[in-house]
A and B are shown apart, each in its own frame.
Chain A
Amino acid sequence: DAGITQSPRHKVTETGTPVTLRCHQTENHRYMYWYRQDPGHGLRLIHYSYGVKDTDKGEVSDGYSVSRSKTEDFLLTLESATSSQTSVYFCAISFEGLTGSEQYFGPGTRLTVT
């Protein structure tokens, strides 16, 4: 298994509070991704990173920000959590370009916003 961990694995928070999810890899892969998965929508890309301090938006980036200060960590922040952000969040990594190599996914973080 690719060395990807996500923390926390489960979190319950209240509307309006900030939340940060962490993705950590031990593979030294350049590319990292954050997805969310909701019933009826499949996996949707939130943000991705193609290097330290290099990030870009995905298809559902509103309400989320990311940071990558070192290769191994990619943080996803919900500045002010809303109930619509209740979801399962997956981190992924890939070695080569965005579409040129396989992605490896973490175990997911289940976030509930009450």
Chain B
Amino acid sequence: DAKTTQPNSMESNEEEPVHLPCNHSTISGTDYIHWYRQLPSQGPEYVIHGLTSNVNNRMASLAIAEDRKSSTLILHRATLRDAAVYYCISSNSGNTPLVFGKGTRLSVIA
């Protein structure tokens, strides 16, 4: 089972910021936090990952709580193309493959 907890669905207005939460209360000190997203009828797509510090890239920002028990994926300005299922995954430091949960389905309203 995935070791993260995400809301089943969220809704956002177009051109507004979106904060997608993820709880990973059992995360260990060496586990990374990964985010992927899956657009309709496509394979999953890497978004961002981090360990302790907040991370930014061209797609999104990842804010990691100081105790690392939760994190937030931030889309700074949602577009209709951001409508997708977003997966938060905490990796196993024992070097086993990522385990995808059911994710959060993000709807973006024009």
Give A contacts to B, CB under 8 Å: 33, 35, 40-45, 48, 58-59, 90, 92, 97-100, 102-108
B69 close to A (CB within 8 Å)? no
Interface size on B, residues (CB 8 A): 23
Contact A105 B45 (CB under 8 A): yes
Binary interface encoding of chain B residues 77-104 relative to chain A, with 1 for a CB under 8 A from any of its CBs, else 0: 0000000000100011101111111110
Knowing A90-B43, A103-B46 are in contact, say whether A42-B95 is a contact too (CB < 8 A). no
Kindly identify which residue among A58, A99, A106 contacts B91, using a CB–CB cutoff of 8 Å. A99
Contact A100 B43 (CB under 8 A): no
Contact B97 A33 (CB under 8 A): yes
A45: B residues at CB distance < 8 A = 97-99
Knowing A99-B91, A102-B49 are in contact, say whether A107-B42 is a contact too (CB < 8 A). yes
C-alpha gap A43/B102 in the complex (Å)? 8
A107: B residues at CB distance < 8 A = 42-43
Contact B43 A108 (CB under 8 A): yes
B21 close to A (CB within 8 Å)? no
Kindly identify which residue among B36, B45, B92, B100 contacts A99, using a CB–CB cutoff of 8 Å. B92
C-alpha gap A42/B103 in the complex (Å)? 8
Contact A42 B101 (CB under 8 A): yes
